């Protein structure tokens, strides 16, 4: 019998996307993440994994939009700030990158 709980379905799909991303199958992960985010746009971890996948594919500007979405939903996640900083650095935006890195360190230290 199929579970009709949308939250359960989203979490199952998210786990499949995260596994695909961990295996370097970024396009497959992105396809799955679109399904998760279409039904649950407030899934911060889905935005984070989407951003990481986009960044790995060299789609830095799109990755930044997804990092921003993840940060809006979970502003205390230091990993999102750090990864956004790395992406900004790749784009040559040193000052913005440093601001994000500083925020990541503060959050990681619990400041």
Q: How many whole angstroms separate alpha carbon 33 and alpha carbon 63?
A: 13
Q: Quick one: pLDDT band at residue 8, thresholds 50, 70, 90?
A: low
**Mean pLDDT value across residues 43-61:** 97
Q: Burial of 1 by CB count in 10 Å (0-12 exposed, 13-18 middle, 19+ buried)?
A: exposed
pLDDT, tens only, 69-111: 999 999 999 999 999 999 999 999 999 999 999 999 999 999 8
Q: Which two tokens stand for residue 30?
A: 């992105």
Map out the domains of the chain as residue ranges: 6-108
CATH 1.10.540.10 assigned to 6-108: no
- With a threshold of 0.85, does the pTM exceed it? yes
């Amino acid at each position: 019998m199929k579970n009709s709980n949308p939250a359960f379905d989203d979490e199952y799909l998210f786990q499949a996307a995260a596994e695909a991303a961990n295996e370097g199958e970024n396009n497959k992960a992105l396809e799955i993440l679109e399904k998760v985010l279409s039904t649950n746009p407030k899934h911060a971890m889905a935005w984070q994994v989407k951003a990481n996948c986009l960044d790995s594919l060299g789609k830095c500007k799109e990755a930044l939009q997804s990092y921003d979405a993840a940060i809006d939903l979970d502003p205390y996640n230091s990993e999102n700030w750090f990864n956004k900083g790395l992406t900004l650095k790749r784009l040559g935006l040193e000052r913005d990158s440093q601001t994000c890195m500083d925020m990541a360190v503060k959050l990681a230290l619990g400041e």
